[in-house]
Amino acid sequence: AGVPESVGHLLEKAGIVNKTKLVDHGKKLNRKNWTQSWTVLHGGILTFHKDPKFSPAGNTNKASQIVPEYTVDLKGASVQWAAKDKSSKKFVLELKTRQGCEYLIQYDTESIISDWHKVIQEAIQQLTPH
């Protein structure tokens, strides 16, 4: 059992962004909860990790602080710049999944969020049968 050939072609990226979930499997959440997140794109999956500030006290092992919070399957997902009414923040992406979840992804540096837009868009396209 090896890595499927198609996975090897998928783009990969990791970095810090701000994110909040808006809709969970079709259910709109009552309020936003913007948090910083170590975010990894790998093999068509985008993983937002928990902010280490909120990990259980007393555990100072850095590796153990990297805990997934949301795992997003990009197959069938869509990403676009968010409409102004979605957030007062600048440079906000809206990511919608096939499973009916929605996330906002934001960073104050335009080049950083533009790079995320590009790689997420490309990953979605590579996952789309054509």
Among 72, 110, 76, residue whose Cα is nearest residue 93: 110
89 binds ligand I3S (CB under 6 A): yes
Closest to ligand I3S by CB, 34 vs 81, is 34
94 contributes a contact to ligand I3S by CB under 6 A: no
Q: Which of 25, 27, 31, 62 binds ligand I3S (CB under 6 A)?
A: 31
CA nearest 113: which of 86, 83, 80, 88?
80
Q: Which of 84, 88, 129, 130 binds ligand I3S (CB under 6 A)?
A: 88
Is residue 34 involved in binding ligand I3S (CB under 6 A)?
yes
Task: Decide: 18 and 107 in contact? Cβ < 8 Å.
Answer: yes
End-to-end Cα distance, the chain = 26
> What residue type is 88 in one-letter code?
S
In the complex, least distance from residue 33 CB atom to ligand I3S, rounded to whole angstroms: 7
Residues that bind ligand I3S (CB under 6 A): 31-32, 34, 87-89
